[in-house]
Structure 1
Amino acid sequence: MGTFGGHALPGTFFVIYALFLTICACLKFQQSSKRGTRFKSFASFYFPYGKLQRFPLEGLLKVLLTTVALSIEIFTGFDNGKFVFMGNAQHATMFAYFGFNGVIDLLQHFKAPLPRDTEYVTLAMAFMVEGLLFKFHLHGRTQLDILVHTLLLYVVYACIISVIVEMKYRRSILSPLARAYFLLIQGTWFWQVGFILYNPSPNAIKWNEEEHGELTLATILFAWHALADFIILLVTAVTIHVCCRRGNGIAENDVGLKRLLHSGSNDQSAVCVQSDSGSDLEFEQPTVGVNR
């Protein structure tokens, strides 16, 4: 845990998780709008287009990424054949809970007889355990170390609340985006903590971990992280919206052109039918028109 890599590893996990959730939720929302159906959020999203829409990609990624991260934490926690780094054990425990949530996602995909909303409950459990571990992770640390991890603890609390709210209000796109936002803050702040406490650059100037000015600067950096992450999610959501609208416009223009060609050459008409995938366009057999 007390290394730059020990913070970059969970940071990478949470960044990937947050971006994947954002992309899938926004695509699902656009798909629902296109079909004229109500949006519904899920603790584990399927990619809504293409061959991956029937594949439990998020659950599988959770299991694979957490297994790799857990293995690294355990392997690097040994010294001279003995497991001595308790920080690694804390991180391994955190990854185990998120991996367990991934297993629940996979079980639900394969129609295991689980109680309703089990995936949300286990996800909230993972965040609760993460918060518990960080709460008692700060004994004997410097003021700067305590501050940066306390700020992280606040975000973990926000993740717990966002999961509970999402479980209640699953018809709102803001629910999964709120979860993605706090996940992204966790990810980028993990990286920032690594640079503050364990900067890997050989020419880096070490922070004075007891000076008030350094504590103030760390708090300011956290505020900028919160703003930058919000902008990242906003730009991602707007980009997906614009791309989907342009794609729909192209599809509609193609349909109109084919109708014109059919009616102009054979005095026939074509009817556009939306397929189950929500993205492919099919055409019924044209019917012969009657001249009057």
Structure 2
Amino acid sequence: MGTLEGHLLPGIGFLIYSVYYSVLTSLALLRGEKALQHPLLPRKLRGHRLFQQVSYEAMMKVVVPTFGIIGEYFYPLGVNRLQMIDWTDPRRPFIFKDNWQHVTMFGFFILSGVVDMVSQSHLPRWGVKLERAAEALAFYVLVLLMATHIENKNSLEIRVHLLLMLPSFLFAVVLTVEVWIPNNPSIWLLKSWLGLVLSNWMMQLCEMYVPPTGQPWRADNPTDLAFLTIFFCWHLALAAGVVIAIYGLCRLWHCYYSSWTKTPGAKYQRCPMESSEELEKLKAEALAQDGGV
């Protein structure tokens, strides 16, 4: 959907996922873990026994794109874009091109979520590589369809989508590298940064539909196009700052939680003895008590 709502839903979804992944990465680095530990859904919510190890990440990949597909077909209420070919026209033209492109993108992210569920439940040894491959495929499809999505658009929309394709393609490349080099902290941080860049830029698209200044962006103005690129560079720095801020907050929480869980004196400590005379005195008192009993 080329509307505010159409960009807001995936933007919020990517933002939540990126913040969630950044938190996991920060905690893993602080704890010295060799692999990311994805929290699992409560047992009551996992449903069928075939999916006993479902993470929040996998569930989000399925739920959010599903709402996106429903919106593409039936939003606003009363419309129906399920039809792909206009059978009333003798030429049988394809219709709703943009919507079907969006649905295809959402569909591959749902596929990535399903692969995560199956992998986490039944393929614990080498399933991580399969998960990253499916996720990389979803982003490659996103870039591929976005390349044709900008056809017949004005210069402003073309610039916006080209800048969106850049972090999407880099994210796909990083995921591809992670297939062969899993559990690498540098890749974790790079993914966190690129995910925040992508989600922040999606939110920037929403701002273009409802500009805070009240003046719409002008596609025929070179100054607006130049500032669009400037804002994208600012988003690169903003995403890096958010990653650092999340790591700092996680570090504070980790230090506070560690100090709070430690009970003073809980560990066994040997009683210090200044001299052997005290030890002999204690033994004598113990023998006297035993004799009295």
Common fold by TM > 0.5? yes
TM-aligned CA deviation for residue 204 of structure 1: 1.8
1:31-86: CA deviation from partner (whole Å, max 9, x where unpaired)? 3x2xxxx5125xxx5128x999x652211121112212221122128986455532
CA contact (8 A) 1:76 1:88 kept: no
1:231: Cα distance to partner?
Answer: 0.6
Bigger mean CA offset, 8-17 vs 242-251: 242-251
Flag structure 2 segments of 5+ consecutive residues without an equivalent. Answer: 46-52, 84-94, 273-281, 284-293
Matched residue SS, 2:266: helix
Matched, 1:39 2:34: yes
What is the CA deviation profile of residues 130-186 of structure 1, one whole-angstrom value per residue up to 9, with x for unaligned ones? 001111111121111111110011111110111123333334222122112212211
Give 3-state SS (helix, strand or coil) of 1:110's partner. helix
Q: Aligned residues, how many? A: 254
Is the 1:166–1:176 Cα contact (8 Å) retained in structure 2?
Answer: no
Q: TM-score, normalising length from structure 2?
A: 0.76
Match of 1:208 in 2: 218
The structure having more radius of gyration, on CA atoms, is: 2
Give the AA of the match of 1:219.
Answer: T
Q: Would you say the 8 A contact 2:62–2:114 is kept in 1? A: yes
1:226 and 1:58 map into 2 onto residues whose CA distance is 24
Partner of 1:185: 197
Deviations along 1:226-246, one digit per CA (max 9) or x if unpaired, are: 111111111101211222123
Task: Calculate the TM-score normalised by the size of structure 1.
Answer: 0.77
8 Å CA contact 1:46–1:55 kept in 2: the answer is no
1: CA distance, partners of 2:258 / 2:62: 35
Q: Given that residues 4 and 200 in structure 1 are in contact (C-alpha distance below 8 angstroms), is that contact kept between their aligned partners in structure 2? A: no
**Larger displacement relative to structure 2 (106-115 or 217-226):** 106-115
Alpha-carbon distance in structure 2 between the residues aligned to 1:163 and 1:146: 26
CA contact (8 A) 1:24 1:47 kept: no
Taking the aligned partners of 2:254 and 2:54, their CA distance within structure 1 comes to: 22
Q: 2:184 aligns with which of 148, 167, 172?
A: 172
The answer as to whether partners of 1:77 and 1:85 remain within 8 angstroms in 2 is no
1:5 corresponds in structure 2 to 5
User: How far apart in 1 are the matches of 2:244 and 2:181?
Assistant: 21
How many Å separate the matches in 2 of 1:80 and 1:59?
30
In structure 1, give the amino acid aligned to 2:239: D
- Cα deviation per residue 1:238-259 (whole Å; 9 max; x = unaligned)? 211222123223334x1x3334
User: Within 2, Cα distance between the matches of 1:78 and 1:200?
Assistant: 25
- Aligned partner letter, 2:221: E
Consecutive unaligned residues in structure 1, runs of 5 or more: 268-290
In the alignment, structure 1 residue 151 sits paired with structure 2 residue 163: yes
Equivalent in the alignment of 2:101: 90
Indicate how the Cα distance of structure 1 residues 81 and 74 shifts in structure 2: closer, same or farther if over 3 A, else same. Answer: closer
Q: What are the residue-to-residue correspondences of 1:2-81 with 2, within 5 Å?
A: 2-31=2-31, 33=32, 38-41=33-36, 46-47=38-39, 55-76=54-75, 81=80
